[in-house]
Homo-oligomer: A and B are copies of this chain.
Amino acid sequence: MDHRPPDHRPLDHRLLGRRAQQRQQRRAQILAAAEQVFAAAGFEGASMAAIAGAAGLPKANLHYYFGTKEALYAALLEELLQLWLSATEAIRPESEPAAALEAYIRAKMAWSRRRPQASKLFANEVLRGAPLLSAHLAGGLRELVEAKSAVLRGWMAEGRMAAVEPRHLFFAIWAMTQTYADFETQIRLVLDVPALGEAEFEAGVATVLRLVLGGLALRA
């Protein structure tokens, strides 16, 4: 039945990697399902059975790959934190302040639009006191904020933007942009629309840009 030629390449990397490849695909499959279920139900509310169902795999298989529910959750969070941190790239000393902040705000808003579950998951974890993430928040995130705050302080010293406490400015931008993912339900109900679409995100971007750029005297 099988007419493929015999394989004479026992050391071929494509063959050697077959298991590793499947292994990676399974992990990604489980993580994707876990993101949906954890975001919708929270850590406690989500069940391994529900995640297994969403992934189309038996429950015991998840335990084979990740050991425990908590380890699966932690793996997911670490993956998402990388995304979270990467959005600050626009803020560099040689950039124009207004353009850099606008790019940053647009990037965060786009993330809220495209990956709302990821944002919700993150919010949930922080809301609970970040039991699995506090080390990363106190480490990598803090360092990043310090570095980017130094850039903003430089711009302030040069008179290129109003003087504010940069870290609180970040808190404000994070809050305003992530609210369109985390509090999507509330925004949807207040606006009386079935779902947040292009128009709502455009209005959100416009509002956040006006407050941040206007508040920092970056636009007349």
Contact = CB atoms under 8 A, between A and B. Distances in A.
A189 interface: yes
A66 to B, nearest CB: 20
Interface residues of A, number: 57
Main secondary structure of the interface of A (DSSP, over half): helix
A8 B160 CA distance: 81
Contact of A141 (B130, B190, B212, B213): B190
Interface string A161-177: 01011011111101110
A212 B210 contact: no
Q: Which one of A45, A142, A187, A212 has the greatest number of beta carbons of chain B within 10 Å? A: A187
B185 A134 contact: yes
B175 A142 contact: no
Interface stretch (A18-26, A69-77, A118-126): A118-126
A117 to B, nearest CB: 11
